[in-house]
Amino acid sequence: MRDDNQTRRLIKEAEQARLQQYTRRHFLKDGAMGFGALALGSLLGNCWGNSGSKKLFDAANPLAARPPMFPGKAKSVIYLHMAGAPSQLELFSYKPELAKLDGLDCPPSLLEGKKFAFIRGVPKMLGPQAVFKQRGESGLWLSDNLPHLATVADDIAMLNAVTTEQFNHAPAQLLMHTGSARLGRPSIGSWVTYGMGTENNNLPGFVVLTSGGNNPDAGKSVWGSGFLPSVYQGVQCRSEGDPVLFIKDPKGMDRDLRKASIDAINKVNQEQYSEYNDPETLSRIAQYEMAYKMQISVPDVMNINDEPQYIHEMYGTQPGKTSFANNVLLARKLVEKGVRFVQLFDWGWDTHGDSAGNAVDIGLINKCRKVDRPITALLLDLKQRGLLDETLVIWGTEFGRTPMQENREGKKMPFKGRDHHAAAFNMWMAGGGIKGGTSYGVTDEIGYNIVSGKTEAYDIQATILNQLGFDHEKLTYESQGRNFRLTDLSGKVIKDIIA
C-alpha cells in the first residue's frame, strides 16, 4: 500500500532533480559559451556522465602512449628527490653576509611569529660551512661540496627562491609531489602517465627507485595514484633482490614452464571468451602476455652489470648493493628504453646536527660524495647519448634549512646543524628544454626570505607538465564532484628558465 505522501514526495523529488540538473557549476561552465550552447550542454550533459568521469584513457590499455596537448621538448622525466632537506646554504646558496653573523644571537625579527620544527628560544646564527665559487661561464655559485656538478654548471637552471608552507617532511613531500600536503592525491608521475602513457609497454610507465636506507617520510603516497586508477601509481623497482615485486617466477620454475603455464591459462581464457564473449577476457589475456614480457624486459633493464666498466666508474656504482649511484644509472637505462617518469628518492639529508652523520660539515659532505658523481655522470651521459634535450632532470627536496644553528629544546647541539626552513630553498632543473646556465629567484643576504621570483611547488609542477607538452590547467580528472588537476588552484610555468 503506497503512501500518497511518499509518491508525491518522489515525484516532487524527480521534478526537483530535473530542475536542479543545471546546478550553478554547470550553468557557469556553459554560460560562458553562450545560451545556445546551454541547450546543447543539457543534451550532452548525460553523455559525459555515461562512462563515469571524463576519462582521457582507454581502460583496456591505460598506459598506451598518448599525445600531449602540444609538442613538448621533454619526453621523459628523471626526478631526483633528496629526502630530508639538504642544506642549501652549504650547497647552492652563497651568503657571505651570513658568515659575518656566525655565532651571534639570532635577531628577534627572524623569530617572531614563526614556528620552527625544533628550534626553541633564541638560536645562534651559523655561517656557511662550505667554500663557494662561481662556476662555468654562467657564473653559477656552487660550493666545494659538489665539485663534479661544478663542471656541468652551465647545463643547470637554478631556482634560488623555492618556498613552501610545510616544515615537516611528510606533508612537505606530499605537497611537492602531489600538490597537497594531505594524503589522497595523485603524484606527478601518475598525472604524467595518465596524461600521456608511456612509449614502452613492456616496462612500467612510472618507476620509483629508493636509496639511502629508508623510504621517504610520506611513504608510498608520494608516488601513489590517489584518485586516479591504480594502474598509474609508481612501481617501485629495487636494484637488489626482485627488481619489481613478484617479477621473478617461484623457485623451481624456469622460463619455459612459466611460458607453458601462461599459455595454458590463456588457452582456457580463450575458450572462455568464445563462450562468454566478454572483451574483458581478451584484455586479461593481453595482460598475462604482457606480464610474461615484463619478466624479461624488467630484469634486463634493471641489470647494471652489463654496462662497461668505464660507465661504472663514471657513475661510481656499487653493483650488488643498493646505492643512489646504481639507481641513477638505472634511471638512465630506463629512460633510454622509453620509460616515461623515473622518480628517485634518496634518504638521509636531514642534517639537524644531532650526530656527526647529521652535521652540515661532516655527514652532509659524505652524502654529497654519494650523489655528486652520479648526478654529474647522468647529465653527461644523457647528453652524449643525445637524450638530454628530451629528458627533463629535476633535483629537488621538500624544504630548506635555517641560517641559524639548530638548538633542539633550547640546548646546544653536539654538532653543527640547521633546522627545517620552509621559506626559502633551492632546486634545479636541467635538460628537457630547460635553458642551462640560468637562474631564477633571489633570496635575502642570509637566505631567510625570498626577495623576488617566488617559486612554489605548484610552479615546479606546472613547468614539468609544460615541458612535456601539457597545460597544467587543462590536464584534469573528475573526482568527488569536481575537476582536479595536479597544481590544484595555482601554479605558473617558470618561463625564465625555459629555452
Residue 158 and residue 460: Cα distance in Å, rounded?
A: 12
DSSP secondary structure letters along 119-139: B-S-PBB---SS-EEEETTTT
**3-state secondary structure at position 209:** strand
Nearer to another protein, 171 or 403 (CB): 171
Site string for another protein, 19-48 (x = CB under 8 A): -xx-x-xx-------------------x--
Nearer to another protein, 44 or 268 (CB): 268
Closest separation in Å from C-beta 445 to another protein? 13
- Interactions with another protein, residue window 282-341 (CB under 8 A): 283-285, 287-288, 290-291, 294-295, 313-314, 316, 336-338
For 258, other C-beta atoms within 10 Å of its C-beta total 16
User: How many chain residues are in contact with another protein, going by CB under 8 A?
Assistant: 135
Stretch that binds another protein, among 110-118, 260-268, 395-403, 457-465 (CB under 8 A): 260-268
- Interactions with another protein, residue window 137-196 (CB under 8 A): 137, 139, 147-148, 151, 170, 183-184
**From the list 102, 122, 215, 300, which residue makes contact with another protein (rule: CB under 8 A)?**
215
Residue 16 and residue 419: Cα distance in Å, rounded?
A: 57
DSSP label at residue 382: H
Site string for another protein, 217-236 (x = CB under 8 A): xxxxx--x-xx-xxx-x-xx
CB 487 within 8 A of CB 472: yes
**From the list 12, 249, 412, 449, which residue makes contact with another protein (rule: CB under 8 A)?**
249
Nearer to another protein, 36 or 250 (CB): 250
Residue 108 and residue 146: Cα distance in Å, rounded?
A: 33
Nearer to another protein, 261 or 490 (CB): 261
**3-state secondary structure at position 487:** coil
DSSP label at residue 51: T
**From the list 253, 255, 320, 412, which residue makes contact with another protein (rule: CB under 8 A)?**
253
Closest separation in Å from C-beta 283 to another protein? 5
CA separation, residue 193 to residues 70, 104, 198, 336 (Å): 16, 50, 6, 17
**What's the chain's length in residues?**
499
For 10, other C-beta atoms within 10 Å of its C-beta total 11
- Interactions with another protein, residue window 449-488 (CB under 8 A): 469, 480-481
Q: Does 17 bind another protein (CB under 8 A)?
A: yes
Nearer to another protein, 233 or 487 (CB): 233
* Centroid of chain to Cα 353: 28
**What is the enclosing helix (H) or strand (E) of 384?**
helix 363-384
Q: Does 114 bind another protein (CB under 8 A)?
A: no
- Interactions with another protein, residue window 370-429 (CB under 8 A): 373, 376-377, 380-381, 383-386, 389, 415
**3-state secondary structure at position 236:** strand
Which three cell numbers mark 13?
523529488
Closest separation in Å from C-beta 13 to another protein? 7
Q: Does 107 bind another protein (CB under 8 A)?
A: no
Closest separation in Å from C-beta 35 to another protein? 20
Residue 349 and residue 145: Cα distance in Å, rounded?
A: 14
**From the list 347, 399, 458, 477, which residue makes contact with another protein (rule: CB under 8 A)?**
347
Nearer to another protein, 222 or 422 (CB): 222
Closest separation in Å from C-beta 148 to another protein? 5
**From the list 275, 305, 309, 409, which residue makes contact with another protein (rule: CB under 8 A)?**
275
**From the list 29, 31, 38, 65, which residue makes contact with another protein (rule: CB under 8 A)?**
65
Nearer to another protein, 65 or 111 (CB): 65
Closest separation in Å from C-beta 246 to another protein? 4
Closest separation in Å from C-beta 139 to another protein? 5
DSSP secondary structure letters along 443-483: E-TTSSSEEE--EEHHHHHHHHHHHHT--TTT-EEEETTEE
Half-sphere exposure of residue 202: CA atoms within 13 angstroms, side-chain side? 15
**What is the enclosing helix (H) or strand (E) of 38?**
helix 35-49
Those residues with Cβ within 8 angstroms of residue 17's Cβ, 6 or more apart along the chain or in another chain: none
